[in-house]
Structure 1
Amino acid sequence: MTGPRSWPRRVRDRLGDRGLAIALLLVLVAVAFTPLVAFPAVRCEVFGKGCPRTIHTLHAEPVTSPQAVPLTPEEAATRGAYVALGDSYSSGLGAETSVADHNPLNRCHRTSNAYYHDVAKAFRFAGGTAFWACSGATTADVLDGKSGEPAQLGRVNGDTSLVTISIGGNDVGFSRVLAGCVVKLPWSRACQDQGGDIAARMAELRRTLPGLIDKITDRAPRARVVVMGYPRMFSEVDNASGDNIDVADQRWLNARARDLNELIRQAVREADERLAAARAPGSVEFVDAYSAFAGHEAGSLDPYMNGLAVNLAGLSAEPRSFHPTVKGHRALAALFVEQIRKGPGRPLNQFR
């Protein structure tokens, strides 16, 4: 007796040898292409579709949904922490009014009237605020630390949304230059003869400042970094400040301050252009403070800049000489507040 036919034999009887071969070929093709459809990586490699998008958090175009709304400049600045860095023009040297301001243990000369305090009060920062500017700081000190304190650079991180800083004046040796202009014989050229040294130090600052700015933006990639220029010190009126600096030397010193500001402005612009080209979320912005004290220079009736202050006991200039007064810091704070609200003048790649 003949048993039931097997499944392959039944299929072959129905399809015939040629039909069976075609059916097997179709099965093999389906099996071969199943991974291409089932697995996105293979589908991406073969067809170029369904590929995952690589996103770099710092220097890449942000991925946003059609409903994403750009942050305003103020929202971007205040969504995290505010950190104030820099030198004596940021620490508040020269604007002392309290006993604590004169504490000899306060080696960085941070005072209660520094512009930082007004900026911190003008906005609500979600991550709080911190004040780390230090008198006498150079670009190297911001990187490495000064007066026994850790590096200012280490005070910023990915949660920082705003950085304010003044830096560069100590790199070019302005305190030494001013001393050379005060301690000279009348009608001598000892003041302006320092031009060669200033030019050399500015050339070095032109090399180091961009590196410092880049390190700040690397550590705080979402931050708006607002860099301040320096205010004009002198009214260019003969002996207005009673410090042996005549009109010609006042003009020369003001011109060197303007040169320094232009160096800083250029470094800031280049740094921001690099961020904008990379569609990075942060910014670098310049605050032009050169004319902030116009009509209120050292020696004026209502000065925003301290003139020469001499320590008679030590026959030396006091540190507050040629630094902003309390009113000077109020004027600087107003410039920062205005810039924070205004923004960098280009889209910020931050969304909500």
Structure 2
Amino acid sequence: MPHRALARAVTALAALLATVLGVVLVPGTAQAATVNYVALGDSYSSGVGAGPYDLSGCLRSQKSYAPLWAAANAVTSFKFVACGGAVTSDVLDKQVSALSTSTTLVTITIGGNDAGFADVITSCRFGSTSTCTNAVNEAKAFATATLPGRLDRTYAAIRDRAPNARLVVLGYPRLFETNWCGWLAMSTYKRTILNEAADLLATVTAARAGAAGATFADTRPTFAGHGVCAADPWIRDVSGVIEAYHPDADGYRYGYLPALNAALR
């Protein structure tokens, strides 16, 4: 085959391979596909517990999993609108406006505050066993009966605003190890029923994410052995009112980030 014809054939083959592999070849370089990433959600996405925080009032930290992933993957654009304390209505009213048809990736943690996360933790940390049990049972009933509809509306709104995006819904970790860890710790029983509530919330969230065509990233395996009362905890105890029972910087880097990476494989 003449050299010029051979060169044209090689060029055509390279272009075909680039299309198949989802990359665009430029002489001397290879560029990954465009990634326009928007991070939505509550405090477990904004990075509460990791610090330091920006001045938005949402307690956003660059040590959260979202900015860590964006930095590691050299995304084309990154919008970080997750906000500490957010419930599903906040995502609908204040966050989905960051999405567009050009958005290619959306991540979110949401639902914990709807189910009364802070009140349940407070009741169990400072209340009696019966007070804790009642609070957990109320949260579980809400998670089963009411939360699914709220999650469905939230995921549908995300799909509507970002129809071309991949949606990854990240779950919440179990917060506690159940070994003995001192007289000042919550009882093993309280920690156990709180972990059971986390399991139920994960089950509900995974089901609704699946129904919406989203990918669910379960963080319980990556946090296993690193809850409160562990030798190397990645969850804060009552070290701060706002940061209590949220991941620390290690939790976001070694718990949440690997779960997101696994979900995107």
TM range (shorter): 0.7 to 0.9
Q: CA 1:196 to 1:252, structure 2 compared with 1: closer, same or farther past 3 Å? A: closer
Aligned twin of 1:172: 115
| Post-superposition CA distance 1:107-147 (Å, at most 9, x none) | 10001211112110221323x11111000001111011xxx
1:264 corresponds, among 188, 205, 210, to 205
Q: Kindly report which structure 2 residues correspond to 1:28-177, keeping only aligned pairs within 5 A, or say none.
A: 69=20, 71=22, 79-96=34-51, 98=52, 101=53, 105-126=55-76, 128-144=77-93, 151-177=94-120
For 1:338, the aligned partner's letter is: A
| Counterpart contact for 1:306–1:322, Cα < 8 Å | yes
Q: CA 1:209 to 1:298, structure 2 compared with 1: closer, same or farther past 3 Å? A: same
Tell me, in whole angstroms, the C-alpha distance in 2 between the residues paired with 1:201 and 1:227.
19
Tell me, in whole angstroms, the C-alpha distance in 2 between the residues paired with 1:161 and 1:212.
17
Q: Helix, strand or coil for the counterpart of 2:205?
A: helix
Aligned twin of 1:252: 193
Q: Which runs of 5 or more structure 2 residues have no equivalent in the other structure?
A: 1-17, 24-31
Q: Kindly report which structure 2 residues correspond to 1:257-336, keeping only aligned pairs within 5 A, or say none.
A: 257-272=198-213, 284-309=214-239, 318-331=241-254, 332-336=256-260
TM-score of the two chains, using structure 1 as the length reference: 0.64
Q: Helix, strand or coil for the counterpart of 2:167?
A: strand
1:204 corresponds, among 125, 139, 146, to 146
Aligned twin of 2:132: 191
Tell me, in whole angstroms, the C-alpha distance in 2 between the residues paired with 1:243 and 1:263.
32
The alignment yields a C-alpha RMSD, in angstroms, of 2.1
For 2:58, the aligned partner's letter is: C
Tell me, in whole angstroms, the C-alpha distance in 1 between the residues paired with 2:221 and 2:133.
22
Q: Helix, strand or coil for the counterpart of 2:89?
A: helix
- Alpha-carbon distance, 1:78 to partner: 5.2
| Post-superposition CA distance 1:41-68 (Å, at most 9, x none) | xxxxxxxxxxxxxxxxxxxxxxxxxx97
| Counterpart contact for 2:170–2:216, Cα < 8 Å | yes
| Post-superposition CA distance 1:308-345 (Å, at most 9, x none) | 125xxxxxxx11000001000002112212222x1xxx
Q: Helix, strand or coil for the counterpart of 1:286?
A: strand
- Alpha-carbon distance, 1:195 to partner: 3.6
For 1:92, the aligned partner's letter is: G
Tell me, in whole angstroms, the C-alpha distance in 2 between the residues paired with 1:121 and 1:324.
20
Q: CA 1:334 to 1:95, structure 2 compared with 1: closer, same or farther past 3 Å? A: same
For 1:182, the aligned partner's letter is: R
Range that drifts further, 259-268 or 327-336: 327-336
Q: Which runs of 5 or more structure 1 residues have no equivalent in the other structure?
A: 1-66, 145-150, 273-283, 311-317, 343-352
| Counterpart contact for 2:236–2:245, Cα < 8 Å | yes
Tell me, in whole angstroms, the C-alpha distance in 2 between the residues paired with 1:243 and 1:158.
51
Tell me, in whole angstroms, the C-alpha distance in 2 between the residues paired with 1:88 and 1:233.
15
Tell me, in whole angstroms, the C-alpha distance in 2 between the residues paired with 1:206 and 1:243.
36
Tell me, in whole angstroms, the C-alpha distance in 1 between the residues paired with 2:96 and 2:184.
36
Tell me, in whole angstroms, the C-alpha distance in 2 between the residues paired with 1:79 and 1:298.
39
| Counterpart contact for 2:22–2:33, Cα < 8 Å | no
| Counterpart contact for 2:105–2:166, Cα < 8 Å | yes
| Counterpart contact for 2:62–2:68, Cα < 8 Å | no
Tell me, in whole angstroms, the C-alpha distance in 2 between the residues paired with 1:106 and 1:208.
26
Report the structure number with the largest CA radius of gyration.
1
- Alpha-carbon distance, 1:243 to partner: 5.0
- Alpha-carbon distance, 1:183 to partner: 1.0
Aligned sequence identity (%): 34
| Counterpart contact for 2:178–2:229, Cα < 8 Å | no
For 2:174, the aligned partner's letter is: R
